[in-house]
Structure 1
């Protein structure tokens, strides 16, 4: 007799992924970077209720996970842009499925 999968503990990787994307603002930050790289101020403008302090904290977390990369552009004036890594693009595509579900059902 097979054990019901709902009674098994989730693997650590799945738990960690839900913890990451479940943090407030993470999904919206990833969403804002899906189309093109953006500067900090552009990300902030696209999510007006997100404080700059929290945006900075969340971007650093996403960098630590290898989901976002910080690009310093040395043209004059020097500017910094953030973009999704390959890993981040794949996560963004997965989150797009959730967005599609939300549009249909919420």
Structure 2
């Protein structure tokens, strides 16, 4: 049962929301998921799409997202077989949320306030 804000039984803290927030607040995680919303991608393609992220950190985040059940490794077509990363059903549903967040950001975030990271640590 879900209660609406302001109604009896509504609590401002929700452990489900906290877990989702923890996943997305890992550095680079949301950007990796955003890349995969467009479709399956190889490691190098993900790396190229996200500036300033080291391969070591990308590898770790992909493992974290796999452990969370959002991303899965799949063998691509061709020989030799190449590993691709793709969203799971759970990841696809979260991708829809990320697209809404992107729409919000495009509307409300002042471009003058946006800075690209210069380091990964």
Q: TM-score, normalised by structure 1?
A: 0.88
Higher helix share: 1
Q: Counterparts of 1:51-70 in structure 2 under 5 Å?
A: 51-70=54-73
List alignment gaps of at least 5 residues for structure 2. 1-6, 110-121
Could you say what secondary structure the match of 1:70 adopts? Answer: strand
**1:19 aligns with one of 11, 22, 26:** 22
Between the aligned partners of 1:50 and 1:35, the Cα distance in structure 2 is 19
Specify the alignment match of 1:37 in structure 2: 40
Give the gaps of 5 or more residues in structure 1.
none
Residue 9 of structure 1 and its aligned partner are, at CA, apart by 5.2
More strand, by proportion: 1
Size of the aligned set, in residue pairs, is: 103
Residue 101 (1) aligns with residue 104 (2): yes
Q: CA deviation at 1:3?
A: 6.3
Residue 74 (structure 1) shift: 6.4
How far apart are the structure 2 equivalents of 1:24 and 1:61?
Answer: 11
Secondary structure, aligned partner of 2:91 = helix
Greater shift, 72-81 or 30-39, is seen at: 72-81
- Provide the aligned C-alpha RMSD in A: 1.7
Residue in structure 1 matching 2:53, options 46, 50, 53 = 50
Q: Which runs of 4+ in 1 moved over 3 A?
A: 2-5
TM (norm. structure 2) is 0.78
